[in-house]
Amino acid sequence: MDATPDPFPIRSGSRAPLVSTREERLRGRLLTALSGDAGGSPPWIRALADGDDTGYFEEEGAVWTVHSGMGTLVAGIRALLMQALHPGALAGVHDWSRYRDDPMGRLTGTVRWVITLTYGSREQTGREVGRVARFHDKVKGTYVAADGSERSYSAEDADLAEWVHLAFTDSFLAAHEMWGGPIPGGSDAYVREWATAGTLMGVPHPPTTERELRGRMAGYLTAGTLRRDERVDEVVRFLRRIPFTGPMRPAYAVLFRGAVASIPKPYRRLLGLRRSPFPVVTATRLILAVTGRTLGGGPRAQDFARRRLERLRTRTP
């Protein structure tokens, strides 16, 4: 990060306050979009310092490493694109999600789920899983499957939960492999650790190796379960042009193209997307570096989690 050019260079002492204000305003907008709080520390993040257990995932382990990387900004877009290919999963989003009316609220809710499961205590994780489950209880309806038949769906259906988990795991792993650093224990360690989240969310037997992960996903493809229709196109259009303003708008456009570039060709073709002829992988790396610099070194979710872990380590038996 230190080698990244400053996006708002200070050329004279008299300009320093203006530049600082501009950076701080952009930082606040980014943090509000991700956490719902301009300081990046809403109550649910500060609560990560509480609790009486170490949580499900090892400090500085594979899950901590992948989910703390800037590549998660691309992974989230990629996961939503991939998840949209399952008509049952997409029906739940289409019928019940508020993403069209409140995209930032939807984003913050997802970020909260990821961060709480990653860094929270088991008690906090249980409450978060319960919060999501209460919403999922009402997510029911019908959809037209890839073979043209009408089927019922529920957010609790094992195959829908599995596809959502597979797409998430694959997307976060792929984004980190493309724009992040080494993963402690390698890619298999991430898939194996994050399988715990799949189990918590109702996936009967989540994959535990990268090979198994990719094989399960390919099975959906070869079975003809995945499809493209007008609802998929609607999601793609929305994700391509999320209503950001200011410098966040062109930055997001690059991240979207980076997400598309990271999707294997068979899924990309099914989504009706083409990889940009421009060097989007490099451009995405630059945008992620600048974004990381803009966010700065303020308190992060894992910092609050470390406070809890340090308290538990030093607690008198």
Its pTM stands at 0.88
Convert the pLDDT of each residue in 92-146 to its tens digit. 888 877 666 666 667 788 899 999 999 999 999 999 999 998 888 888 899 888 8
Q: Is the predicted pLDDT of residue 19 greater than 70, yes or no?
A: no
Convert the pLDDT of each residue in 242-283 to its tens digit. 888 888 899 999 999 999 999 999 999 999 999 998 999 999
Q: Is the predicted pLDDT of residue 59 greater than 70, yes or no?
A: yes
Confidence of residue 233 (pLDDT cuts 50, 70, 90): very high
Convert the pLDDT of each residue in 142-155 to its tens digit. 988 888 899 998 88
Residue 201's nearest CA partner among 126, 146, 271 is 126
Q: Is the predicted pLDDT of residue 44 greater than 60, yes or no?
A: yes
DSSP letter (8 states) at residue 3: T
* pLDDT at res. 204: 93
Is residue 45 within 8 Å of residue 35, measured between CB atoms? yes
In the three-class reduction of DSSP (H, G, I as helix; E, B as strand; rest coil), residue 152 is classed as strand
Confidence of residue 297 (pLDDT cuts 50, 70, 90): low
